Amino acid sequence: MFKWCRLRRNALPFAFCLLTLVSAQAHDRIGSISHSIIIARGDAVSYYLNMSPAIAELLKKEVDPNSPDFQDYFSSELSVRTWDSECRLAQIEKAPPETTGNWIVHLLYRCPREVKDLSITSGLFLDLDETHTQFARLATFDEPGTSLREAVLKASNMSFHIPDVRSGGSASSDRALSFFKLGIEHLLTGYDHILFLLTVIIVMNLLDTIKAVTAFTVAHSLTMALAFLQLVSLPSSIVEPLIALTIIYVSVENILTTNVRKRWLLTGLFGLVHGLGFVGALKAITVSRDELLLSLFSFNIGIEAGQLLVILISVPALRYLRTRAWGRRFCHGFSQGTAALGTVWFIQRVFL
């Protein structure tokens, strides 16, 4: 692909070479969701699995809930161990579907001896949706609503180890670390957010870059807080096309003007829109207002860490490119490419 990219001759093909490698599904990253509550008592482990409507429908298409294959699926995709011994899946109970479309399944495991430590390895639903995320909690029999430990299980982290099921640990620390990592991942896999930042700073000096990035950070943090307090709310069907439009606008501005000294005002305004995109993902994966406060803070810090990493890597590279004789052509070509890609995303998010 890159053989026909000749930066010195024409920056536009080079930009498209890079941008065509980016998936058009830029903001659809978290995918399907499930929640699980794990309770250990004696030699038994109860695994209460609450599946979202999306994953419940996918599972029912693949496995008949009334067939032996249903139990075989959970036996093969979910491992429960204690004392380095495998626990046996003894029983599955399926509750009637809830009015929300969620589907709850109770998996009962029997272990060789009384459970002290516990190791969970889950590949559940990853064969149906590789982006599936499961939010797992360890609770007690007496207070199933209180978390002792928590973990986020997904393709990159399929294990949840609890050294002592009685003392548990710090569920708040688990949650903070999990959502911090999710924030970093959300930013680094958020091609639309990264392209917006790069398009903003590609024509700016260091001081103006700092001002623009600061304005963007403050703005999207403010929107996330307001959305958490339910003072601001917009559906994703509106937010996602608006995010694409912010990329188009900044790209066109890069091509038409060289005066970007006050761009920090624009990035502050657009940061409000991007913040709604961030919090939309966060609200989809949390279950209570109390949990959302710590989750919101940790998630936002993770986003800032990911954003800082992008800036630290890109600013020196962009500064070098601007010093080359073909630097301006590169900036225009890159901006033309991001404008085209933003247009594709806008059309997809509005009409498809």
Kindly report, residue by residue over 217-270, the tens digit of the pLDDT: 999 989 988 887 778 888 888 999 999 999 999 999 999 987 888 899 999 999
Domain ranges of the chain: 7-29+189-351, 33-169
171 three-state secondary structure = helix
Chain centroid to CA 83: 34
CB 32 within 8 A of CB 55: yes
Alpha carbons 91 and 76: distance in angstroms, whole number: 14
pLDDT band at 27 (very low <50, low <70, confident <90, very high): very low
| Per-residue DSSP letter, 4 | G
List, in sequence order, every beta strand (DSSP E) within the chain: 33-41, 44-51, 78-82, 85-86, 88-94, 103-110, 118-122, 133-139, 147-153, 159-162
pLDDT score at 18: 46
In 3D, which of 300, 311, 302 has the Cα closest to residue 198? 311
pLDDT score at 21: 43
CB 134 within 8 A of CB 124: yes
Does residue 288 surpass a pLDDT of 70?
no
Query: Number of C-alpha atoms within 13 angstroms, CB side, residue 54?
Result: 12
- Which comes out higher in pLDDT, residue 345 or 178? 345
Burial of residue 85, with CB atoms counted within 10 A of its CB: 0-12 exposed, 13-18 middle, 19 or more buried: exposed
pLDDT band at 189 (very low <50, low <70, confident <90, very high): confident
pTM: 0.69
Alpha carbons 338 and 203: distance in angstroms, whole number: 14
pLDDT in tens, 53-84: 889 888 988 888 888 899 999 999 999 999 88
- Joined tokens for residue 169: 């640990």
Q: List C-alpha distances in Å: 350 to 25, 238, 239, 327, 346.
A: 13, 8, 10, 34, 6
Alpha carbons 260 and 143: distance in angstroms, whole number: 57
